[in-house]
Amino acid sequence: MHSPTDHPYKTWIDLAASRLGGQTLACSDDFFAEMENLLKPDAPVFIDGKYTDRGKWMDGWESRRKREVGFDWCVIKLGAKGKIHGVNVCTRFFAGNAPQKVSIEGCCETGAPNEATQWFDVLPLTEVKPDSDNFFDIPQQDVVTHVRLNIHPDGGVARLRLYGEPVIDWNWFLPNEPVDLVYVKNGGRPLACSDMFFSNMENLIMPNRGKDMGDGWETKRRRGGRPCDWIIVKMGATGSIKKVVVDTAHFKGNFPESFSLQAINMKDGSDPEENAKWEDVIVRQKLTADAEHFYKEEVLSGEREFTHIKLNMFPDGGISRLRVFGYPSASVIGQGE
């Protein structure tokens, strides 16, 4: 399976990720390997010689060999409802037991799907390669809360990734309620960074505090060149910035010496480059190891509204989480989906 840094949809969020609340709800059959493995965050592994009382242990979802007409399926609840732009149906290590074809259906439901649910095509019936990452672009733009992965006729899939953008119901928020504008479930999305050699840039805006040093954004050691590492995040909504939290949890010998925060308002709806005309929000501040750092008085931007932020860390290292609290534009609050 591809590393976090090299798949084709790395600027989108895996909407089915278990750390966002993604869950496997039901399947037709998981005799050989449990459906829950589909959403495991780690890349699949193969352990030679490991067997269970049902057969070879496999790190994925695997149904038994079908002896009648039909196909197997698994229903998955997304951790964040949204629009899917690309998928990876990963069959890694399923060499002689991968499906021949797969399809994916979606629905938008407030509760769990049932017999009355109207499913629509997300990925039409498509051939997949065994023991491979199978990436597919998704052109449809329907909002999805659940998907049904169909494997034809049977077999095993190691992991399913559903890359896209969360769709936010801004009616949920109250007027004058502060919102973390870069939080993944509020629509924040990392667009680019100088480097993410050790861990993915999307970790920076994930829920909760990081569980370990791998659950953050960490760059390699720089040896000259640019003065700092940086990341650009598109905020979930245009808004003003009022307070910021920078968390270096678990980064002890590799935390940055300092950071600064900048922002920009791209009124034409485009995305900024590294050298755009960024405005200072927090000037360079010292950081410490394995700690949350809180900033309110240091925020310089007042009532000005922005669409993107740029976090600079000097000279390199790792940051676990970034929280940017502020007020969405008045034109945003009260909007439905």
Both 127 and 181 in one domain: the answer is: no
Both 277 and 129 in one domain: the answer is: no
- Whose tokens are 């990081």? That residue is 210
pLDDT in tens, 75-123: 999 999 999 999 999 999 999 999 999 999 999 999 999 999 999 999 9
* pLDDT above 60 (res 1): no
Both 115 and 160 in one domain: the answer is: yes
- Which of 144, 175, 169, 128 minimizes the C-alpha distance to 79? 144
Where is the domain boundary, 107, 135, 166? Answer: 166
SS3 18: helix
> Which residues are within 8 A (CB) of 228 and not within 5 positions of it... i.e. 6 or more apart?
194, 312, 313, 314, 315, 316
Report, as an integer, the average pLDDT of 230-258: 97
Both 156 and 179 in one domain: the answer is: no
Both 193 and 322 in one domain: the answer is: yes
Where is the domain boundary, 166, 187, 205? Answer: 166
pLDDT band at 337 (very low <50, low <70, confident <90, very high): low
The three-point CA angle 14-138-114 to 5° equals 75
* Average of per-residue pLDDT values in the chain: 94
Both 75 and 204 in one domain: the answer is: no
Report yes or no on 296 lying in a domain: yes
pLDDT in tens, 221-236: 988 888 899 999 999 9
- Which of 213, 225, 203, 100 minimizes the C-alpha distance to 157? 100
pLDDT for the residue 7: 84
Report yes or no on 215 lying in a domain: yes
Residue range(s) defining the domain that contains residue 85: 13-166
The CA-to-CA distance between both ends of the chain, in Å, stands at: 34
pTM of this prediction? 0.91
Domain count, the chain: 2
Report yes or no on 4 lying in a domain: no
CA 206, 78, 12, 98 dihedral sign is positive
Report yes or no on 287 lying in a domain: yes
Both 230 and 193 in one domain: the answer is: yes
Task: Print the SS3 string covering 95-128.
Answer: CCCCCCEEEEEEECCCCCCCCCCCCEEEEEEEEC
Where is the domain boundary, 125, 148, 166? Answer: 166
pLDDT in tens, 14-42: 999 999 999 999 999 999 999 999 999 99
pLDDT band at 334 (very low <50, low <70, confident <90, very high): low
pLDDT band at 174 (very low <50, low <70, confident <90, very high): confident
SS3 218: strand
pLDDT in tens, 185-208: 999 999 999 999 999 999 999 999
Both 149 and 201 in one domain: the answer is: no
Report yes or no on 1 lying in a domain: no
- Token reading at 224: 């000259």
pLDDT for the residue 335: 61
- Based on the number of CB atoms within 10 Å of its own CB, is 111 exposed (0-12), middle (13-18) or buried (19 or more)? exposed
pLDDT band at 64 (very low <50, low <70, confident <90, very high): very high
Report yes or no on 334 lying in a domain: no
> Any idea what DSSP says for residue 66?
P
- Based on the number of CB atoms within 10 Å of its own CB, is 56 exposed (0-12), middle (13-18) or buried (19 or more)? middle
Both 94 and 120 in one domain: the answer is: yes
Rounded distance between C-alpha atoms, residue 30 and residue 19, angstroms: 23
Beta bridge pairs of residue 305: 240
CATH of the domain at 132: 2.60.120.260
pLDDT for the residue 325: 98
* pLDDT above 60 (res 5): no
pLDDT for the residue 225: 82
Report, as an integer, the average pLDDT of 296-323: 97
Both 101 and 150 in one domain: the answer is: yes
The bridge status of strand 217-218 relative to strand 159-166 is unpaired
The CA-atom distances, in angstroms, between 79 and each of 19, 143, 164, 293 are 8, 13, 12, 28
